[in-house]
A = this chain, B = another copy of it.
Amino acid sequence: MARLPIYLRALTTLAEEAVTTVSSEELASAAGVNSAKLRKDLSYLGSYGTRGVGYDVDYLVYQVSRELGLTQDWPVVIVGLGHLGHALANYGGFASRGFAIRALVDADAATVGTEIAGLRVRHLDGLEEEVRKHGIAIGVIATPAPVAQEICERLVAAGVSSILNFAPVVLVVPDEVEVRKVDMSIELQILAFHEQRKLGPERHGRLNDAVAELADAVST
A164 and B82 alpha carbons, distance in the complex (Å): 22
A178 and B194 alpha carbons, distance in the complex (Å): 7
Quick check: B206 and A187 within 8 Å, CB to CB? no
Tell me which of B66, B161, B188 contacts A195 (CB under 8 A). Answer: B161
Chain A, interface size: which category?
35 or more
Q: Check if A97 is an interface residue, CB within 8 A of chain B.
A: yes
Provide the residues of chain B in CB contact with A180, threshold 8 Å.
Answer: 187, 190-191
Task: Annotate A92-110 by CB proximity to B: 1 below 8 A, 0 otherwise.
Answer: 0110011100000000000
A83 and B190 alpha carbons, distance in the complex (Å): 24
Number of copies of chain A assembled together: 2
Quick check: B1 and A193 within 8 Å, CB to CB? yes
Provide the residues of chain B in CB contact with A164, threshold 8 Å.
Answer: 184, 187-188, 191
Return 25 A-B CB contacts under 8 Å, by A number.
Answer: A2-B190, A5-B185, A9-B186, A66-B203, A67-B193, A68-B189, A68-B193, A69-B192, A69-B199, A70-B189, A70-B192, A74-B195, A82-B87, A83-B90, A84-B87, A94-B185, A97-B188, A99-B185, A99-B192, A138-B188, A138-B191, A162-B191, A162-B192, A163-B191, A178-B195
**New A-B pairs, 11, CB < 8 Å, besides A161-B198, A182-B187:** A4-B193, A9-B168, A30-B170, A44-B206, A45-B206, A74-B188, A98-B189, A99-B185, A162-B192, A164-B187, A176-B198
